[in-house]
A = this chain, B = another copy of it.
């Protein structure tokens, strides 16, 4: 018996059950009584209830992250942890790696620890085929996904419009004269698929021939990216600009091009410190983690207070211009 079942048996939404549990205002007396009677019948004592009564709550949020040594995830973790802490919550951290079995195992483990909510960092937690484990977790506690999208009850997603960002980048490069843009990507997580779709969409909107699309998958390893791009160049593959799903891939391409004395417009993604450290410094898409993470934590606090919250918040990305691409530079036709 969980909050989801209570909602179903009472014929109300999970948000309403949550409001009842937490003494929220916007609930009619009739609804409140109905929900409470179902709970009584079922001897329901969830975390959230205990929390509302000031009993037995851990005031602890579980965070799952595939790899905290990744600069993007590390920054997200840092921001989420800091914001949760400011609200008096502790953070139980699990780094899962990329295997689905491990993700499932650690998600269950967090729930056993009676965390008040779960935050998933990155769309790597969203499988293309089977998200039943996220669904199961969300029946026990609210699940918040940072930069991923799973449409299920009690799952809340705060994400950046990465597809639109890639489309816009293609259009910007096209306007400055690029006609064949190499796109480097590593994974096909939800985020990865969105970016790839954005690249294709931009291509279409510029009226470029589909057979010229040049999307190349590489491993997220600097040396591998460099040698991949080097071999593309050696095999006579022609392109006049580079987009990447990740700053590290853009740096790899930049190094391969420099090795042959070439300089092309390049735009990375994530606006990480790597983009700053590259020479010349990389223009990069800022996916707004600094806004996204506090927004996600505020949403979660609203949920735990029994207030209604949107299931999806979509922020637009921003291009940070550095040496490898500027919007106002002369077309390089």
Q: A78 contacts the other chain (Cβ, under 8 Å)? A: yes
Q: A75 contacts the other chain (Cβ, under 8 Å)? A: yes
Q: A153 contacts the other chain (Cβ, under 8 Å)? A: no
Name the B residues within 8 Å of A70 (CB-CB). 74
CB <8 Å contact, A92 and B94: no
Q: How far is the CA of A74 from the CA of B67 in the complex (A)?
A: 10
CB <8 Å contact, B258 and A273: no
CB <8 Å contact, A113 and B90: yes
Name the B residues within 8 Å of A85 (CB-CB). 94-95
Q: A36 contacts the other chain (Cβ, under 8 Å)? A: no
Q: How far is the CA of A95 from the CA of B82 in the complex (A)?
A: 7
Q: How far is the CA of A104 from the CA of B231 in the complex (A)?
A: 54
CB <8 Å contact, B68 and A68: yes
Q: How far is the CA of A258 from the CA of B258 in the complex (A)?
A: 15
CB <8 Å contact, A71 and B68: no
**A64 → B minimal CB distance (Å):** 12
Name the B residues within 8 Å of A92 (CB-CB). 60, 90-93
**A116 → B minimal CB distance (Å):** 14
Q: A255 contacts the other chain (Cβ, under 8 Å)? A: yes
CB <8 Å contact, A258 and B274: no
CB <8 Å contact, A95 and B68: no
Residue of B60, B74, B248 near A68 (CB, 8 A) is: B74
Which B-chain residue is minimally distant from A223 (CB atoms)? B276
0/1 string, A55-95, CB within 8 A of B gives 1: 00000100000011111001101110110010000111111
Q: How far is the CA of A168 from the CA of B86 in the complex (A)?
A: 44
| A-side interface size class | 20 to 34
Asked if A278 meets B276 with Cβ closer than 8 Å, knowing A81-B93, A81-B95, A94-B85, the reply is: no
Which B-chain residue is minimally distant from A73 (CB atoms)? B74
Name the B residues within 8 Å of A74 (CB-CB). 68-71, 74, 77
Residue of B68, B75, B248, B258 near A277 (CB, 8 A) is: B248
Name the B residues within 8 Å of A90 (CB-CB). 92, 94, 109, 113
Which B-chain residue is minimally distant from A281 (CB atoms)? B255
Asked if A255 meets B279 with Cβ closer than 8 Å, knowing A68-B74, A93-B81, A95-B85, the reply is: yes
Q: How far is the CA of A137 from the CA of B14 in the complex (A)?
A: 42
0/1 string, A246-265, CB within 8 A of B gives 1: 00100100110010000000
Extra 17 A-B pairs, beta carbons < 8 Å, given A71-B74, A90-B92, A274-B277? A60-B92, A67-B78, A68-B74, A68-B77, A69-B74, A69-B75, A69-B78, A70-B74, A71-B71, A81-B95, A82-B95, A90-B94, A90-B113, A91-B93, A222-B276, A248-B277, A277-B277
Interchain residue pairs A-B with the least CB separation, the first 6: A74-B74, A69-B78, A279-B279, A68-B78, A69-B75, A93-B93
21 interchain pairs, CB-CB under 8 A = A67-B78, A68-B68, A68-B74, A68-B78, A68-B81, A69-B75, A69-B78, A70-B74, A74-B77, A81-B93, A85-B94, A85-B95, A90-B92, A90-B94, A90-B109, A92-B92, A92-B93, A222-B277, A251-B277, A254-B279, A277-B278
